[in-house]
Structure 1
Amino acid sequence: MRRIFLIGYMGAGKTTIGKDLSKRLGLSFIDLDCYIEGRYLKTVGQLFAEKGEDTFRKIERNMLQEVSMFEDVLISTGGGTPCFFENMEFMNRNGKTVYLRVSVDELVKRLELCKHTRPILKGHSGKELKDFVAESLSKRSPFYEQASVVFDAEVMLTDSDVQTISAALEKIL
């Protein structure tokens, strides 16, 4: 029975790497945000807007605990998941945690391309986006750094890069 949790800031590659890595390891793949959206039939953005962050984080915790009952699974968490309640401790107790660490500058490059699909980033650009990411990451890093594996996922431009990262993680895990 294996359970792996991928954690890291939005844009770190949790879903992209998670899909490839889960195939390599013969594990089922679950994107926690997609799981929540499937259960509630609303996007994470809609849940945030309608219920507020506190209620969303409770939903997220409950869904994390639910998917943690599954065996032989790789779970890609939301960027904030490890930072609320005792979620990080819970994941460390119930499986192997992997922090995909990426620099602020690289995250900003990645997020600039998809900020229209991420409600929390709308209205941020250039220096504002960089400042937002830097501040958020500095608050979240102490949680992320508690992972059992900290992995540098800085270079992820091509499918080949994703496969290289997945292959390296496969050896570690």
Structure 2
Amino acid sequence: MKPIFLIGYMGCGKSTLGRNVARMTGLQFIDLDNFIEARFHASVKEIFASRGEEGFRDIERRMLIETSDFQDVIVACGGGTPCFFDNMEIMNSKGVTVYLDASLEKLHTRLMRGRHKRPLIAGMESEQLREFIVKALESRMPYYSKASMVFRSDLLENEAEVGETASRFISQLGLTAKESDI
């Protein structure tokens, strides 16, 4: 089976949903940032610091091309991955792209809660973060809108919601759940 690429803004649930769908279907889960970090033995933050954004985006594109040749995988892309080079065209030609669409309220709540883990937004106050999200989504929607399909990802707040949302995703994409997860 061709790869499934999860795209969307940070906090939309790409890793949470991807991990659970992979567990329920037997697909391999790849977080593109983690894949890069393992390959380069450095964190994304360190790569940005040493090579700049241009250097990171070049690495990201090369790793995206590599993972696009894998079979039976679900790939959680970084929020900016679709916005550079011809990355959306690569993903759309090699697999299925799914834009995880979370409401502004959900994104804001999730990112406020976990902002200390994200250097880009760590020091932001609530209203500042809300404005940041709105502006970022506005600039990224032309890329996100090229996805093969849109999937609503608001309901990922607890184990029950994650399970139900993963089941809905599996059904919507015509995937097969493992016997133990039916």
TM-score computed with the length of structure 1 as normaliser: 0.96
SS of 2:79's equivalent in the other structure is coil
> Counterpart in 2 of 1:95?
95
> Counterpart in 2 of 1:11?
11
Look up the equivalent residue of 1:170 and give its one-letter code: I
Separation of aligned partners in 2, 1:64 and 1:112: 29
Pairwise CA RMSD of aligned residues? 1.0
Map 1:65-144 onto structure 2 (within 5 A): 65-144=65-144
Look up the equivalent residue of 2:66 and give its one-letter code: E
> Counterpart in 2 of 1:166?
166
Separation of aligned partners in 2, 1:120 and 1:99: 22
Q: Residue 55 in 1 paired to residue 55 in 2? A: yes
Deviating beyond 3 angstroms after TM superposition, the runs of 4 or more aligned structure 1 residues are: none
Q: Which runs of 5+ in 2 are unaligned?
A: 174-182
> Counterpart in 1 of 2:177?
none
- List per-residue Cα deviations over 1:18-72 (Å, max 9, x = no partner): 0111122221110000000101111111111221111111110001011112111
> Counterpart in 2 of 1:28?
28
Kept in 1, the 8 Å contact 2:2–2:70? The answer is: no
Look up the equivalent residue of 1:132 and give its one-letter code: F
SS of 2:120's equivalent in the other structure is helix
SS of 1:30's equivalent in the other structure is strand
SS of 1:59's equivalent in the other structure is helix
SS of 2:60's equivalent in the other structure is helix
Separation of aligned partners in 1, 2:115 and 2:47: 18
Identity percentage of aligned residues: 45
Separation of aligned partners in 2, 1:57 and 1:104: 26
Separation of aligned partners in 1, 2:50 and 2:122: 17
Separation of aligned partners in 2, 1:48 and 1:122: 17
SS of 1:150's equivalent in the other structure is strand
TM-score computed with the length of structure 2 as normaliser: 0.91
Separation of aligned partners in 2, 1:49 and 1:103: 31
Q: Which runs of 5+ in 1 are unaligned?
A: none
Count residues in correspondence.
Answer: 173
Look up the equivalent residue of 2:138 and give its one-letter code: S
Separation of aligned partners in 2, 1:72 and 1:145: 24
